[in-house]
Structure formats: C-alpha cells, structure tokens
Chains A and B, each alone.
Chain A
Amino acid sequence: MTAVTDLHEGNGHSGPLTKADFQSDQETRWCPGCGDYAVLAAVQQFMPELGIPPERIVFITGIGCAGRFAYYMDTYGMHGIHGRAPAIATGLATAREDLSVWIVSGDGDALAIGGNHLIHALRRNVPVKILLMNNEIYGLTKGQASPTSVVGQVTKSTPFGVADQPFNPLALAIGAEATFVARTLDRDRHHMTDVLRAAAAHEGAALIEIYQNCPVFNDGTFFALTEKETRDANQIRLEAGRPIRFGSGGERGVMMDSGGRLRIVDVAEVGEGALLVHDPGRGDPGLAFALAKLSADVSGPTPIGVFRDVERAVFGRGSAAAGGAASEDQLAELLLGGSTWTVS
C-alpha cells in the first residue's frame, strides 16, 4: 500500500487523506438498496490509497444510473453524454498524463450506445480505469432490456422475454485486445477493493465489470454469487499463481480437458495437480477468454477477480498535447514554409 502523506496541497486541510476527502456535498439519489451505493462507498474508501491528491483525479461518466457517480466524488468530474465517456476520457488522458482518469459506466451505456468507444479505448490501451456496473437492465429509463439481459428475461421492452444473445462483457473486452480485465461484486467490498487496487496499478486501460444489483428492475440477479448461503459454492475466485479452486472447502476446481476446453471438476476426482493454475499475465488471451466464458449464466459457478493483466504500450504517452505549445520561432519557421518570395 502506498504511503499516505499530506496531499491536501493548499486545500486548507492537513493530515492524510481519508474517505471523507472524496465525498462531495451532493446528496446521493439512487434507489434505496441499489448496488451503486456499495460501489461508491468502496471507491471512496479506496481512493486515499492511491496517494494522489483529489484534484488530480477525474471521474468521467456516461448516462444511466451509474452516470451520477461523478457528482458524488469530491474530485474533478464530468457527467458526459450517453456512451461517450470513453471518448471524452481518451481526450483528457491523452492531454493530461498527470491525471488519474476513471470512467463509470453501465451495461447500456458501455455496451449498447457506447460500444464502439469502449472497444477502441481498450484496443488503444488508453490509461483509464473503467468501472462497468452491470445490472443486466436499463434502470434510469425504467426497466428495458440491455445488451447483457439474458435470453428469456422479461422486461418492459421484452414482455415475452429477451430473444437475442447477450454480450459477455469480459469476453468482449478480451476480444477487443484489453490489457486488464477483471470482475467483482457490489456486495463484496473486500474483493472489490483488491480488484480496484490491481486496476490502479495497471499502466493502461483497465476494465472492471461489477455485478451490481438493481433492486427495482432486476432484483437478485447475482444473488447466487453474493449471498451467504450460495456464494461459496458459486464464487470462483481467480488468484494469480494459484490453482483455480472453489467451494467452501475448495473441493471443486477448473481444469482444461484434452479437447482444450475448461471444465469444472471435483478436485477429489482429478487431483489438485490437474487444476489450471491462474496466470493473468499470460500474453495469449485464450485462457482468459475461456474463463470469461466459463459460466453460461450467473446462477451457477462464476469466476471473479483479475482475468487478464498484461503490459502493452500505453496510448498517448509523451503526446504533444501533454507537453507545451510550440515556440514563437518554431511558428515563424512553419509560417514561412518552403518557398517564399518578397514584394517590396
């Protein structure tokens, strides 16, 4: 953990940063019980750890319930337009290398109207951290199907059930050449903080999918993973360098079968040595992709944690806009261009 020093720089405060330094004076306006509250609290709690003064942190959001996130952080922030947060953040991060830029988006914002910007921000490896609050529904517009709503899901816009195949956000991100891909849960502050920490340490673009409960329009979707009675049986916690095991006694695990497919197995049957050892730093994205696709839906065993964390050139580093303007001499030379003549 980074040493926390006095980072208030002329704010009139002193002492180490705390959660309170990141709480704005705006009243939070999500529905009671919304998973967004837990995410906000976890992020505010984690921020001091970054060791960056609040004025050098920026939250850019899109439209949707998650879009309000920017107003609640006492940092710089912009509540942009639907789907465009990755584009706006790309400009900001390219122009200002000294900032820590965070995006908060939702499944409709990031994967429907803003899909193009998301995949290109990931492909370019723009230095931004993207929190994708996935609740598998449109909340702000009151309950229509989203690109992650599951087949058969009855919503206001799909009274006979969703017919089309949903996106798997992590598989999409890996396909888009993302260098950091992770998943966490709104109801597990500890896990979420670990994932935030890993994302913050990553140099390029980081995508964190957060399974977020929407009690109003899609309640309980992720309960198999988050509730006490079922979570041990269903959370497959990925840990770097460790065999992938889960279950209350670690009795189950993930192995690759002879056909190259990942399978969930009983450890007693196959032996611990047969289990897949998790390596998020693997250059080839194949295994991360297979893990992302391991569970067909979230009612059964599902991996969480950091799926992929690899290094690649970071977009915009050393860009001219992040430096200074040209000099007057440089300008004078450019104005003259190649061949000139004089009229006297």
Chain B
Amino acid sequence: MSKVVEERERVIIRFAGDSGDGMQLAGSRFTDATAVLGNDLATLPNLPAEIRAPAGTLAGVSAFQIHFASRDILTPGDVPDVLVAMNPAALRANFGELSRGATIIVNEDAFTKRNLEKAGYGDVNPLDDGSLSEFRVHRIPMTTLTTRAVESVEDASTRDAGRAKNLFALGVISWLYGRPTEVIERWITGKFGERPAVAKANLAAFNAGWSFGETTELLSVQYRVAPATDMAPGTYRNITGTTALTLGLLAASVRSRVPMLFASYPITPASEILHELSRRGRHGISTVQAEDEIAAAGIALGASFGGRIGVTATSGPGMDLKAETIGLAVMLELPLVVIDVQRAGPSTGMPTKTEQSDLLLALYGRHGESPLPVIAPSTPGDCFDAAFEAVSLAIRYRTPVILLSDGFLATSSEPWRVPSVADLPAIDPNFAVAPEGEEGWQFEPYSRDERLVRPWAIPGTPGLAHRIGGLEKSDRTGHISYDPKNHARMTELRAAKIAGIADELPPLRVDGDSDASVLVLGWGSSYGAILGGARRVRLRGEKVAIAHLRHLNPLPANIGDVLRSFDRVVVPELNSGQLAQLLRARFLVDVESFTKIEGQPLWAPEVERLILGDVEQAATSTNGGGAR
C-alpha cells in the first residue's frame, strides 16, 4: 500500500498516559531519534505531583511534549498537534488544550468501563459519543496488538507484554513522522542487554507499532519534517537544563583548576543536580547529601574556606533555610554558588510546577545589607554558560552568587552546540601567598585590590593564618569592630564590590526593531516564549523590540537608558511583577507588568497577544494626540 507523504515545518506531539505507562521513556526515545535526524527541537515533561497516584486517575497522568521543526524553535510549544492518549484519564487531562483538527491517537483497549469511571467520564465513552468529532481520532487496540507481538517472543512474560505498549505507541508515532528506527532499536538493545527476553519483547512491540503504521488503512498519510538548516555549524547534543548546569559547574572547576564540593538536600526539582553530580566523583567533584538545607549550605561554605568551590542547590523552600549561610558568606567574602531551581510557592506550593517568584528573595532575602550577584539562565543550553559564570564570579569576586533556574528550564531540553574546552575562559583563583623575606609583614585578610576584592587565603598557606567570622570586621585587618564609621564603610565596600561587577558585564542588548515603540523585557526561562511571541508579531508586520536580562544584580550599566528609550516597556514574568516593581523603583520608568502565576511556563502566543495589545494601545495614545 503506498501512502501519501506530506511536508510539515513543525509538529508538537504530546505523549500522555498513566504514570506507569512509560510515557517519559517513549518521549525521550522519540526525542533522541528526532535529534539524530537533525530537526531542531524542544521538550518538556509534565509529571504528576504524587509518586504513586492511583492508576487510571487524572492525578496519575504523566505527559511528555516534544516540539520539533525544520527551522529553529524556541519553546516546547503550547498546543499539541498530536496527542497520544494511553487511557481515558490521559485524554481527559489533555483534551482541553487541543485545538480543533488536532490528531488524537488512543489506546482503545484502555477505554474500559472501569477506566472511564476512574477518569471521571462516568458511563459515557468519549470515543463514541461524538464529542471528538472535530478531531482526527485514531483508535488503536494497542494492548491487544502489543500482547500479540510479544507472544511470539520466547521467555517473555505477560508482564513484559503489558509494559511494552509504550514502545508500540512509539513505533506508531515513529512511523508517522518517519523517525529512524535504528536509534531506538539500539537503545532498547543497550538498555535491556542483560535481560534478552525483555529486550526482545520491547523490540517486538516497537516494530509491531511501526508496521502497524505502515500497513493499516487507519493512517493514510505519513509526515516529513525536514532537518533544520538554520542551525550554526558544530557538534550538537540534546541537553536538559539540569545536565547543562552540571556540566557548566564541572567546566568551571576544570578551567579554574579548583576542585568542587557540591552539597545539597533532596528537594524537587533540584535533586536531579545532586543525582547527576554524584556520578562525577572521578571528575574532581565531591557530593555530600547533607542532613538539611542549612547544613548543605554550611558544608559548601566550609569547602570554600578550604580553597575549593563550594556549591549548593535547592528549590524554593530550601532558599529560606540557606539564607543565614548566604549572609555569612557575604560577610566572610568567600566564594559560594547557590542554585535555586525555582518552583511554585509559597511554602510547599506546587513542587513540580515552575515559577519565577524567588527573584526578590534572591536579591533581598537576608537580614542586614547583604548584596550579592544574581544571574539567571534563559534556555536549557544556556544553563551551562550561567553555571560557568556563577562559579567564575564567585571565585573572582569572593562572593556568594545566586543562580536562578526554574523547574521548566531544569526539565526541558533542546539541541545544544557542544563548546570546545579551549574556548572556555580560564578562571584565576589567585590564592594568596605570603611575600618572601619581608620582615614584619602582617597579613591583612580584608585588604582589597582595585576591584575591592579581598585575598582568598586558604588554610595550609604558611604565614597567612587568620580568623574570620560573622562579626563585623575592621577594614583591612579583619579584626572584630563595633566602630560606627567602620561599619558604614564596610557596608559600602561590600556593596561597591558587587555593584562594580557591572563594569565587566556586556551592555543589555536590544533585538528586533530598534524603532519600535514597545520593548518586551524579560529574564530567565521566559526567553524562548518572548522571542517566539515577538517573531509572530513581526510576521504580522508590526514592530517590537526585545531584551533579556541574564544579570539581575548588578543590572547592566545601560539598562536605564534602554528603558527610557521606549514609549512602553512590558515585563512578562511568572510571578506577581517582581522585576517590574524593581525597575519602576530603580529607574522611575512606568513599566507595564504582565504576570502569569499558574505553575506553567510562559507561551509564545501569550506574548504575541500581549505585544499586539500593547502595540495597538501605544499607537492609539501616540495618534490620539490631544483628542481625548
């Protein structure tokens, strides 16, 4: 049977099923095959909050979304073109986000009376009641077909058959979008090599899904998404924000020749960093799973005192507990990297959901005047650069640095151009040593260089033994001091040192139309959505400029000028307007705040609507003159 092949520029597929159905695996394997094919892509998992939510219920639905295209893409996409629903709950949980005409592929076998009830459909089967008439629905008895395919495999159990239906679904979708089968087959063989029966069962299921696509009349069209051609030359890999971040830390350790000690306490979603780094023992990184968040910060700071790079990572609630140690690090002026993978708060909030609501906490959430650098990555791959920079700043300025990632960045993925090691800047820890042969020389731990940076004198260095602590210290000597003028001076010095970092920062870059009246200014993980939204607007022939902040403290030196050079400045954030509030206070500019606090990332169409609204409004107010 010959099938029609249609070209598509971009496709968004969402794999959804019960958390036991293996949807994350199906999605990741599809991603691998897509990456190898040379499509640009972005992915995002959506995991249930409970580890073992009751099977078949809405709470137990796990999903994985992939957006791939023949040109560069910026986000994992919002509205899926294709939904794979392994049970009624998966259909029900995701149905609301589909637009008319979308393709729905269901495991028909799972639409039993009991499953329909658990999903809240009662005794109505949505496959039969006409409610899906505006969609292209493919009903495939996946459980039956998988069982049949696996039956022929020697030694495979019924359990193996039951667990392989995700690979059947993956086979169908792989055929539908012409993904190479070898990548997935190789993975299956590698993964289950030790259990040949399981490997064979999974291969059988995958191949059965593929052949089903090829032969059935249900699916009449196969789609082709050509390799992306607008990617810069280089070697690429697919990477999540978490992996990029850990590699950035590691790279900074290599380029500074300073070993690293990473300490953290398990917390969602930051734990993944601990998991990844705990495998790096042979690569100059030790990990300690601390007894609590406070200890994790203290252990990291202790290592920094010893001349290592102390790093700790957490999510929202953990930041509250780390505050006192961060304050101590400000006072001690020692390097410390604190990674906050932000999640929806307050309190426990929604641990698996993303948010950007720790910005003001990072900037100000400590007692006393305690300024420190705050930086935020903008894409999964950018987590590498941000982590590298965080370590570099911490070492070179002897200061704690807060890196604000978030759940969305940590778990989503994109193709990443692998940097060459030689291109990464070297970081000079510049450890202090005593001068030779200078009679009567006295070490002053709080003397400063021209950037106001104090010496990093580590235990073991002869002639530099000294004591530091949380008490206010005397300028230069570091002795305890309660002198009023000295406290004022030290407070100023600490602030000036951090503010001075702005001297080495690149100016805030404005992209898009420099003659636009509207500037969209963002920070952190909303970069892709803002860029995508701006692109949509410009395709419509409207003008818009965008800028994105990597450095939240200190801010780039030219930001005030940028803000003042546009009629309107819109700041979209996943919080209640924290950056907007800051900019208004600092620069007296009437910044317009767009806020979204739903535990979901910002999406390009939202930004598009936002900008269009503003463009029109801006036009009205300019043209309106004095008419009103």
A residues sitting closer than 8 Å to B (CB atoms) are: 8-12, 24, 26, 53-58, 60-61, 63, 70-71, 73-81, 84, 87-96, 98-99, 116-117, 120, 316, 319-328, 330-332, 334-344
Contact A79 B462 (CB under 8 A): no
Closest to A93 in B: B302
Contact B235 A326 (CB under 8 A): no
Q: For A53, list chain B residues within 8 Å (CB).
A: 462
Q: For B256, list chain A residues within 8 Å (CB).
A: 325
Closest to A7 in B: B462
Contact A343 B231 (CB under 8 A): yes
Stretch at the interface among B117-125, B283-291, B354-362: B283-291
23 pairs from A and B in contact (CB 8 Å cutoff):
A26-B480, A55-B459, A71-B480, A78-B305, A78-B332, A87-B294, A88-B301, A91-B300, A91-B302, A92-B303, A95-B261, A95-B306, A96-B459, A120-B291, A316-B288, A319-B261, A321-B260, A321-B286, A330-B254, A335-B418, A340-B235, A340-B236, A341-B38
9 nearest A-B pairs in the assembled complex, by CB-CB distance? A91-B302, A79-B469, A87-B298, A91-B299, A321-B286, A326-B283, A77-B467, A88-B302, A87-B295
Number of interface residues of B (CB under 8 A): 81
Q: How far is the CA of A193 from the CA of B443 in the complex (A)?
A: 31
Contact B233 A343 (CB under 8 A): yes
Contact B254 A328 (CB under 8 A): yes
Q: How far is the CA of A336 from the CA of B263 in the complex (A)?
A: 25
Q: How far is the CA of A53 from the CA of B460 in the complex (A)?
A: 9
Closest to A329 in B: B421
Cβ of B88 < 8 Å from any Cβ of A? no
Contact B302 A337 (CB under 8 A): no
Cβ of B401 < 8 Å from any Cβ of A? no
Contact B298 A325 (CB under 8 A): no
Interface centre among B298, B308, B460, B469 (most CB of A within 10 A): B298
Cβ-neighbour of A320 out of B243, B282, B292, B310 (below 8 A): B282
Chain B min CB distance to A138 (Å):
18
Cβ-neighbour of A337 out of B243, B305, B307, B419 (below 8 A): B243
Q: How far is the CA of A337 from the CA of B469 in the complex (A)?
A: 42
Contact A78 B468 (CB under 8 A): yes
Q: How far is the CA of A74 from the CA of B443 in the complex (A)?
A: 13
Q: For B251, list chain A residues within 8 Å (CB).
A: 331, 335
Contact A54 B282 (CB under 8 A): no
Q: How far is the CA of A80 from the CA of B304 in the complex (A)?
A: 13
Chain B 415-449 per-residue mask, 1 if CB under 8 angstroms from chain A, else 0: 00011111000000000001010010000000000
Contact A91 B469 (CB under 8 A): no
Q: How far is the CA of A28 from the CA of B466 in the complex (A)?
A: 16
Q: How far is the CA of A9 from the CA of B433 in the complex (A)?
A: 13
Contact A336 B460 (CB under 8 A): no
Q: For B302, list chain A residues within 8 Å (CB).
A: 60, 87-95
Contact B469 A80 (CB under 8 A): yes
Contact B306 A10 (CB under 8 A): no
Contact B462 A91 (CB under 8 A): no
Closest to B187 in A: A339
Q: How far is the CA of A117 from the CA of B283 in the complex (A)?
A: 28
Q: For A316, list chain B residues within 8 Å (CB).
A: 286, 288
Dominant secondary structure of chain A at its interface with chain B: mixed
Closest to B466 in A: A76
Chain A min CB distance to B472 (Å):
12
Cβ of B32 < 8 Å from any Cβ of A? yes
Q: For A320, list chain B residues within 8 Å (CB).
A: 259, 280-286
Q: How far is the CA of A54 from the CA of B250 in the complex (A)?
A: 32
Contact A55 B460 (CB under 8 A): yes
16 additional contacts (CB under 8 A) given A79-B468, A90-B295: A10-B463, A26-B467, A61-B469, A90-B298, A91-B261, A91-B303, A92-B459, A93-B302, A117-B294, A316-B288, A319-B281, A334-B247, A335-B247, A339-B35, A343-B228, A343-B234
Contact A87 B247 (CB under 8 A): no
Cβ of B275 < 8 Å from any Cβ of A? no
Q: How far is the CA of A307 from the CA of B430 in the complex (A)?
A: 45
Using a CB-CB cutoff of 8 Å, which residues 310-331 of chain B contact chain A? 310, 324-325, 328
Closest to B183 in A: A339
Chain B min CB distance to A123 (Å):
9
Chain B min CB distance to A78 (Å):
6
Q: How far is the CA of A102 from the CA of B145 in the complex (A)?
A: 67
Interface centre among A10, A92, A334 (most CB of B within 10 A): A92
Cβ of B36 < 8 Å from any Cβ of A? yes
Cβ of B465 < 8 Å from any Cβ of A? yes
Contact A76 B467 (CB under 8 A): yes
Chain B min CB distance to A35 (Å):
21
Q: How far is the CA of A332 from the CA of B421 in the complex (A)?
A: 6
Closest to A337 in B: B237
Contact A342 B291 (CB under 8 A): no
Cβ of B489 < 8 Å from any Cβ of A? no
Contact A81 B325 (CB under 8 A): yes
Contact B257 A325 (CB under 8 A): yes
Q: For A93, list chain B residues within 8 Å (CB).
A: 302
Q: How far is the CA of A325 from the CA of B283 in the complex (A)?
A: 6
Closest to B37 in A: A341
